[in-house]
Amino acid sequence: MKSFFEAHIWPQRGRLYRLGYLWVRDRSLAEDLLQNVFEKSFGREHELRDHPNLAGWLVKSLKNEVLMHLRQTQKLASLEGLEDLKTEDSTTEDIKDSVRQVMNLVKGLPLRQQEIFHLREVEGMSYEEICEHLDISLEQVKVNLHRARKSIRERMLNQKSTK
């Protein structure tokens, strides 16, 4: 029989790692920060069993770990290197180039728009899940996602028209 940690927390590791990597842009640092979250959640397992939004708690804990690390090292987070995330091998080079282009354009967005775009388009979260994870209103999610998509669309069209 699986423990609470194995059944409910460990399966979230992929999504949490990708978010951590999105925020710190360093694979080993993202793993270390995620390990800290897992240690804390393992120690608080009895409290988390009845938590109404376990996934949201884990994301918030990871974000707090990232913020604490950035404060200690006095670094700012960015999305550099997002284009290096692996895509499926079966995709064509044109699709890979398009994805890389979009990911480069995402870097130019404000951080909140980057986060929401990533959660929706990469992680596939629903608007409601994004609200819970980022502790913001549904309207804020919709507005930021719309602005992010609009900005990316306009910049892609501008790039194509200048070629």
Instruction: Provide the pLDDT for residue 138.
Output: 92
What's the average model confidence in pLDDT over 92-111? 76
Instruction: Based on the fold, state whether residues 52 and 17 are members of the same structural domain.
Output: yes
Domain that residue 139 falls in: 90-162
Q: What is d(CA 1, CA 163) in angstroms, rounded to the nearest whole number?
A: 59
pTM over 0.75: no
Residue pair 62/37 in contact by the 8 Å Cβ criterion: yes
Overall number of domains in the chain: 2
Instruction: Provide the pLDDT for residue 74.
Output: 67
The answer for residues whose C-beta is within 8 angstroms of residue 4's C-beta and 6 or more apart is 45, 48, 49
Query: Which CATH number is 124's domain given?
Result: 1.10.10.10
Does 80 map to a domain?
A: no
Query: Which CATH number is 52's domain given?
Result: 1.10.1740
Does 69 map to a domain?
A: yes
Lowest-confidence pick of 9-13, 57-61, 67-71, 77-81: 77-81
Q: What is d(CA 141, CA 40) in angstroms, rounded to the nearest whole number?
A: 29
Inter-CA distances, 152 with 10, 103, 123, Å:
34, 9, 18
